[in-house]
Amino acid sequence: MLPQNHPHSQLFRKIEQQADNIMIGDYYRLLQALRALDKRRPGPSDKMRNALAKLENRLGISALRVQKRRLSVPALVFPAELPITAKRQIIIDAVRKNQVVVITGETGSGKTTQIPKMCLAAGLGLRGMIGLTQPRRIAAVSIASRIAAELG
């Protein structure tokens, strides 16, 4: 935390207040850039004001990006024939409350195709990515196509 009278404290507070509404990667990059400004030799105040204005602009762009992503989330449909669908709300709640969730189930139960959608329903993916690992390329492409088709 920067001292109250620090020249960048206002922008720092703004970044902190917007933390839940900007891209995760942008949050850290903005703070890093703000810290880098602290390390600069004091120079013309116009240069400093220009640098701070650029950072504030980046903050706004990031917030707009998250808002745009939030508005573009498609309707999420979970096929009733997949066993994992019956546990949907339990999984969504667990993902919201815990940093790590381990989910096991039978082959064909819908884990690979439905859990990314459940993560999206839990509010993840708006400020970053939902990653799904798949060791085989053909399977990865097939799964991505299936999820894309389900999301329209």
Confidence category of residue 42, pLDDT binned at 50, 70, 90: low
The mean per-residue pLDDT over the stretch 51-65 comes to 92
Confidence category of residue 1, pLDDT binned at 50, 70, 90: low
The mean per-residue pLDDT over the stretch 9-28 comes to 88
pTM of the model: 0.76
- Residue 44: what pLDDT? 60
Whose tokens are 């709640």? That residue is 93
- Residues 125 and 121: their CA atoms lie apart, in Å, by 9
Residue pLDDT, tens place only, 77-135: 999 999 999 999 999 999 999 999 999 999 999 999 999 999 999 999 999 999 888 88
Residue pLDDT, tens place only, 143-152: 999 999 998 8
Confidence category of residue 9, pLDDT binned at 50, 70, 90: confident
Token code pair at residue 111: 């884990």
- Residues 68 and 91: their CA atoms lie apart, in Å, by 26
Domain boundary assignment for the chain:
9-71, 83-151
Maximal CA-CA distance, the chain: 66
